Structure 1
Amino acid sequence: MKSGIKMQRNITELIEFVLLGFADVPHLQWLLFGLFLVIYIIIVMSNGIIFLITKLDPALQTPMYYFLGNFSFLEICYVSVTLPRMLMNLCTQRRTISLVACATQMCCILVLGATECVLLTVMAYDRCMAICNPLHYLLVMNHKICIQLVVGAWISGIPIQIGQTFQIFSLSFCGSNLINHFFCDIPPILQLACGDTFVNEMLVYIVAVLIVTIPFLLILISYSKIISTVLQLPSATTRGRAKAFSTCSSHLLVVFSFFGSASITYLRPKSIHSAGTDKLLSLFYTIMTPMFNPLIYSLRNKDVITALRKLLLRKMAKILHSVNFLPK
């Protein structure tokens, strides 16, 4: 009987993990639940509104807003992979996650993260073409090309990240099954693996360079061209300079916030990894960045504000119209 219990415990350790999350602050569980629930609602609603107005408003049917709409939809998907489970764990205090669910969550996070890197690069290329080559912009960035770029962004990371997830979860896990994180990320999972994980860590670095570093360098090249072109404009077009810099600065804020935190997470040496720092950085690029992105793009973009105002006025007009024609 005892050997059966022991065998059952060993099997349990192999097929499930425990996401500790914020278990170290038990007195703050309900406060954190309320906070993250509000954040999740804000992210879904704000990004959903931007996605909606980029599809409905005729004035926003341009490549720039086509990419922005897809980016907002991506942010909803990205945050929905981690936050609902974290909310469930905070609410029920049942922190177990099966090995398959953990691998699925990691794979989704990695694929969506790769998609975000490529899509941000595509958006930088779009701004580069619009500012540096305005006469041929609509010819080069036609609807067909825009669709191909977006589809490429969504599928480009799938084979690489599925392969990376498979090689990580093909490792043997022994000892503790406690993941000191709020979702299944690469660094805390590798800490639970048995034996030498040097090859796996090198593969993580290589993939991070391909997915994070190269797109970031391409973005920097695009913006160096943009800055060079804008500075060469005649002094009479100062207003055009200001508009160009305002449009691009919103995108740059998003780029530096996402790429900065992701690079520190996956490219820093293992020796300086700590659970607290990993959680903080992961909170930043998986939750805080998607929450602030709509504010960055909407508050600094007159076209988005105008489209949002028109949408609200249209909805209010419909409500008032329906009220006026209600039967007495």
Structure 2
Amino acid sequence: MESLNKTSVSEFILLGITNIEHLKIVLFITFFFFYMFILLGNLSILAAVIIDHGLHRPMYFFLANLSCLDLFFSSTTVPKMLAGLMMGDMRISFQSCMVQLYFFHLFGCTEALLLTLMSYDRYIAICNPLRYQVLMSNRVYVQMASYCWVIGFVYSLSHTILTSRLPYCNMNKITHFYCDIKPLLKLACANTKLNERLLTIISGFVSTSTFILVMISYIIIGSHLLNMPVGSKQSYSKAISTCTSHMVVVLLYFGIAMCTYLGPSNKETLEQDRLTALLVTVITPALNPVIYTLRNKEMKTALKRTFFKRKSLRKF
């Protein structure tokens, strides 16, 4: 608390994405529609999983959690970014900045862990289908998802406390459209080497280890699919469809995360981080509903049952 009292900066100014006025209008319209799509797409998946009893299974429970995380993840940063593009006011109080930083990393870390769990679920379902009900019982998969949230909570809290205790003297302009650790460390008037090392080590460990676990799961799944009997074409195509959807999401998410937090921190990389942050906060959450519904027959059928049948019943 002592360090916080020494902080002379009571608010920060987010520099946003661009200073070009006419470009701000174009970006506002573009990202506003993306954000609306994120809300509608992920809320639709959540509604379908909750209402349709056919989707009350581990795979769709994890997918509902992923949709929930995407909603929160985007809502942590995008509304403030849209307000800045529209009104030009990108001021954020010190306390609000730390809250934003905390929730951004909470949802980000939890999503990385959840994607790993989803790959493990596919591994059990495809490689050990007879033991699936035992290994992925209701109690087990709810506990696993809970652990993801708890680890995300601890991970984010540790980074937020370390960042908030740094003294920020006079510089208060953040080279980003939301509060993140790297840009804030550049503004601190103290030695930040410990913070930078911890960010690289902890974030690097979480992103790299989870990515490796996902890849191991899919290498084993791939090997199993290659050895499947020729007559199991339907099972083969269904497994390929599900795994391909998940792999696209994994490569997008982990690729961006590792580029952002494992690389060096300088002026050029901070500019690149703004672009990659747009991908992870706007583009990826908008793509997830498309990827998981267009390639999933069960989800498409459930969405039709949830929305279209209910509409037809209201007519009568």
TM > 0.5 between the two? Answer: yes
Name 1:265's counterpart in structure 2.
260
Name 1:290's counterpart in structure 2.
285
- SS of alignment partner, residue 174 of structure 1: coil
Unaligned runs of 5+ in 1: 1-10, 322-328
Question: Is residue 180 of structure 2 the alignment partner of residue 189 of structure 1?
Answer: no
User: How far has the Cα of 1:99 moved from its partner?
Assistant: 0.8
CA–CA distance in structure 1, aligned partners of residues 257 and 246 of structure 2: 17
The residue type equivalent to 2:286 in the other structure is M
Name 2:73's counterpart in structure 1.
78
CA–CA distance in structure 1, aligned partners of residues 126 and 87 of structure 2: 52
TM-aligned CA distance change 1:263 to 1:273, over 3 Å? farther
Name 2:221's counterpart in structure 1.
226
TM-aligned CA distance change 1:33 to 1:140, over 3 Å? same
* CA deviation map 1:260-292 (0-9, x unaligned): 001100001224743331111000111110000
- The aligned runs of 1:173-184 (5 Å cut-off) are 173-184=168-179
The residue type equivalent to 1:303 in the other structure is E
Using the TM superposition, name which of 204-213 and 74-83 deviates more. 204-213
Unaligned runs of 5+ in 2: 1-5
Name 1:116's counterpart in structure 2.
111
Structure number with bigger Rg: 1
Contact 1:102-1:184 at 8 Å conserved across structures: yes
Question: Is residue 220 of structure 2 the alignment partner of residue 247 of structure 1?
Answer: no
User: How far has the Cα of 1:219 moved from its partner?
Assistant: 0.7
TM-score norm. by structure 1 comes to 0.91
Question: Is residue 156 of structure 2 the alignment partner of residue 161 of structure 1?
Answer: yes
User: How far has the Cα of 1:22 moved from its partner?
Assistant: 2.7
If asked which structure has higher relative contact order (CA below 8 Å, sep 6+), I would say 2
- The aligned runs of 1:1-328 (5 Å cut-off) are 14-271=9-266, 273-321=268-316
User: How far has the Cα of 1:177 moved from its partner?
Assistant: 0.9
What is the RMSD of the two structures over their aligned residues, measured on CA atoms? 1.6
Using the TM superposition, name which of 21-30 and 181-190 deviates more. 21-30
TM-aligned CA distance change 1:272 to 1:218, over 3 Å? farther
* CA deviation map 1:105-131 (0-9, x unaligned): 001001111100110011111000001
CA–CA distance in structure 1, aligned partners of residues 17 and 121 of structure 2: 40
User: How far has the Cα of 1:94 moved from its partner?
Assistant: 1.4
Contact 2:43-2:67 at 8 Å conserved across structures: yes
The residue type equivalent to 2:242 in the other structure is T
CA–CA distance in structure 1, aligned partners of residues 307 and 155 of structure 2: 42
CA–CA distance in structure 1, aligned partners of residues 308 and 266 of structure 2: 55
CA–CA distance in structure 2, aligned partners of residues 17 and 190 of structure 1: 13
Contact 2:24-2:85 at 8 Å conserved across structures: yes
Using the TM superposition, name which of 168-177 and 185-194 deviates more. 168-177
Name 2:3's counterpart in structure 1.
none
User: How far has the Cα of 1:45 moved from its partner?
Assistant: 0.6
How many residue pairs are counted as aligned between the two chains?
A: 311
* CA deviation map 1:304-326 (0-9, x unaligned): 111112223212213311xxxxx
Contact 1:13-1:177 at 8 Å conserved across structures: no
Using the TM superposition, name which of 25-34 and 69-78 deviates more. 25-34
User: How far has the Cα of 1:241 moved from its partner?
Assistant: 1.8
Name 1:326's counterpart in structure 2.
none
